Chains A and B, each alone.
Chain A
Amino acid sequence: MIPFRERPLIQPVARFVSDEHIRTLLILFSAIVFVFFTTKDYIPFAARLVVPFLLILLMTAVQVKQRVVLLFCIVLGLGLNVWANYYVIANHGFMITYIGIALMIACASGAQASSVIARAAVLLISILMGLALIQKLVSPHYMSGALVGGYLANGYMFKTLISLFYSNWPEVVQQNLMAQKALLSLPPGQGSGVPLTIPPFVQLLAIVLTYAALFSQVAIEACVLLRSRMGIWTHYAVLLFVLIIYSTRNENVFLSMNLILGYAMTDEHTKKARLWYVIGIAYLLIMEMMGLRPGIFG
Chain B
Amino acid sequence: MLDKIINWVGKRAFGLVTVLALIVAGNVIWQIYLHKTTPLLAWKGGGFGMYTEPHAEDRGVWLRLTGASGAEALVQLWPETAAFASWRDTAGVRGGAYLNGLTRSAERLRFYPRDRVGDPFISRLSRVRWPQTLINTVTPSDGNVFAPSTISLEVYENRYNQTEATVARSLVYQRTGGETGQ
Seen from chain A, the residues whose Cβ lies within 8 Å of a Cβ on chain B are 64-65, 68-69, 82, 86-91, 93-94, 98, 101-102, 104-106, 108-110, 112, 116, 119-120, 123-124, 127-128, 131-132, 134-136, 138-139, 141-142, 144-147, 149-150, 153, 179-181, 183-188, 191-198, 203, 206-207, 213, 249
Are A105 and B16 in contact, with the CB atoms below 8 A? Answer: yes
- A187–B44 Cα distance when bound, in Å, is 27
5 sampled A-B residue pairs with Cβ under 8 A: A87-B40, A90-B44, A146-B159, A184-B60, A188-B154
Residue in contact with A91 in the complex, picked from B50, B54, B156, B168, CB distance below 8 Å: B50
Query: Hey, which chain B residues are within 8 Å of A196, CB to CB?
Result: 160, 165-167
B46's partner among A94, A142, A144, A198 (CB-CB below 8 A) is: A94
Instruction: Output the least CB separation between A22 and chain B (Å).
Output: 13
B27 within 8 A of A: yes
Known interface pairs A91-B44, A127-B24, A185-B60; A108-B9 also in contact (CB < 8 Å): yes
Asked if A132 and B76 make an inter-chain contact with CB atoms under 8 angstroms apart, the answer reads: no
Given contacts A123-B21, A150-B54, A185-B81, contact A132 B49 (CB under 8 A): yes
Contacting residues, chain A, for B137 (C-beta < 8 A): none
B32's closest neighbor in chain A, by CB? A135
Chain A: minimal CB distance from B28 (Å): 5
| Complex Cα spacing A109 to B17, Å | 11
Contact A91 B16, beta carbon cutoff 8 Å: no
Interface residues in B67-126 (C-beta closer than 8 Å to A): 74, 76, 79, 81, 108, 111-112
Size class of the contact patch on chain B: 35 or more
CB distance from B76 to the nearest CB of A (A): 6
- Enumerate chain B residues within 8 angstroms of A128, measured Cβ to Cβ: 24, 28, 48
In the complex, what distance in Å separates the CA atom of A123 from the CA atom of B18? 8
Q: How far is the CA of A179 from the CA of B58 in the complex (A)?
A: 12
User: Which B residues are in CB contact (< 8 Å) with A149?
Assistant: 160, 162, 165
Contacting pair B162 A116 (CB below 8 A): no
Most chain B C-beta atoms within 10 Å of own C-beta, residue among A89, A106, A128, A193: A193
Whether B20 and A102, one on each chain, are in contact in the complex, defined by CB atoms closer than 8 angstroms, is: yes
With A87-B45, A116-B17 as given contacts, are A195 and B165 in contact (CB-CB < 8 Å)? Answer: yes
CB distance from A172 to the nearest CB of B (A): 12
Q: Which residue of A lies closest to B16 (CB)?
A: A105
Determine if B10 and A141 form an interchain contact, defined as CB atoms under 8 angstroms apart.
no
